[in-house]
Amino acid sequence: MTITEIQQDIKKRLGKLIPELEIRYKAELIYEVLCLKQEKDVVLLGHNYMEPALFYYVPDYKGDSLELSRIAALVEAQTIIFCGVKFMAETAKILSPEKTVLLPAEIAGCSLAESITAADVRLLKEKFPGVPVVTYVNTYAEVKAESDYCCTSGNAAAVMAAIDSEQVIFLPDEFLAGNVARETGKEIVTFSRAELNNGFVAENKEVIGWRGRCEVHEKFTVTDIENARKQFPGVVVLTHPECPPEVVAASDYSAGTSAMVRYVEESTAPHFLLLTECSMGDNIMAANPEKEMLRLCSVRCPHMNQITLEDTLACLRNDQYVIEVPEEIRQKAVAAVNRMLEIG
């Protein structure tokens, strides 16, 4: 496609989402990214949360963290560029150590990944000896290396169901853990670092959680849902399972990002309230122009929003930023990731 063709296509597909003045600029960036991509032995993976112009034109593969992990394990190109956040790029490196993995922004973190360290997991294992550890993929490699299983929001309940144990340590998202516990009829207790270190009292609950939270999804409330239902009777409410359990309980459907996308595509309802990162609502709306997506765009993921078209172009030009995982950590982490991939 030429720059003019890209420009016309953006106008047609994303014209309602991207201001007219920005379209030419974005088209030029997309053109340069696509040309450079052709010259290099790279594959570009894009998470569902990427902004619409990047999401629609740049990635070779798009999806949620589980789908992109699976693809990262199979791709043939020598370099993987991960348009997502650091823990996702690290998971790609864990699965494909022989490849160069690049993250377009120097820092694109995640409040969940930053909420827990490997030392915290070791302490939990000391306090609950022999209890299997399930770790959400939104964690760094050192934490995965201390775990028995990984999971994503797309397979958390399946991973829990596959473990033959009375008790499970589920880290680090207290809300995802709470939602899985609710779904599977289990009781949960959560701990903070301070509580583990001072005056710890073991509790015999089936799920042992950690007080990590997603800084985006923790902000959604039941009142947001009630207001939308009053204003738009018949609105279908979708929540990501990183939302508080009472918010998930008040919604019509809760699942990982790709399952949310599929749900909207398959539903005949005219209005949807999407309680997750705002860009995904934009992307769904672009693909389903007849459906109205209500979304709370004052709540955005600052980490996902670090990844721009400009950064992606700089990443391709300068081979930056290289993701490294020390081999001894990788070997331990890959066992937990592979156990997840085998389960589903």
Q: What is the DSSP letter of 243?
A: S
Residues 214-243 that bind ligand SF4 (CB under 6 A): 214-216, 242
What part of residues 147-166 is at the interface with ligand SF4 (CB under 6 A)?
none
Instruction: Give me 178's structure tokens.
Output: 């709470």
Task: Give whole-number Cα distances, 275 to 15, 151, 162, 225, in Å.
Answer: 23, 21, 29, 9
Amino acid at 298: S
Residue count of the chain: 344
Give least dist CB 219 to ligand SF4, A: 10
Residue 59 and residue 128: Cα distance in Å, rounded? Answer: 42
Contact partner, 334, from ligand 13P, ligand SF4, none, Cβ < 5-8 Å per class: none
Site for ligand 13P in 25-64 (CB under 6 A): 48, 64
Contact characters 299-328, ligand 13P, x per CB under 6 A: ------------------------------
Tell me how far, at minimum, the Cβ of 301 lies from ligand 13P, in Å.
7
Residue 282 binds which one of ligand SF4, ligand 13P, none, with CB within 5 to 8 A depending on kind? none
CB of 36 to ligand SF4, least distance (A): 26
Q: Residue 320 CB, nearest distance to ligand 13P (Å)? A: 22
Q: Which is nearer to ligand 13P, 278 or 316 (CB)?
A: 278
Residue 111 binding target from ligand 13P, ligand SF4, none, CB below 5 to 8 Å by type: ligand SF4
Q: 69: which DSSP letter? A: H
How far apart, in whole angstroms, are the C-alpha atoms of residue 340 and residue 325?
19
Q: Give the footprint of ligand 13P on residues 115-144 (CB under 6 A).
A: 138
The CB-of-181 to ligand 13P minimum distance in angstroms stands at 18
Question: What is the spatial distance between Cα 246 and Cα 227, in angstroms, rounded to a whole number?
Answer: 15
Residue 291's identity, in one-letter code, is K
Q: Is 153 in the site for ligand 13P (CB under 6 A)?
A: yes
Q: Tell the burial category of 253 from Cβ atoms under 10 Å away from its Cβ (0-12, 13-18, 19+).
A: middle
Nearest-5° Cα angle at 132, 126 to 137? 105
Cβ neighbours for 46, distance < 8 A, ≥ 6 positions apart: 54, 55, 58, 59, 61, 62, 83, 84
Contacting ligand 13P within 228-267 (CB under 6 A): 240, 242, 256-257
Binding site for ligand SF4 (CB under 6 A): 85, 110-112, 138, 214-216, 242, 277, 301, 303-304
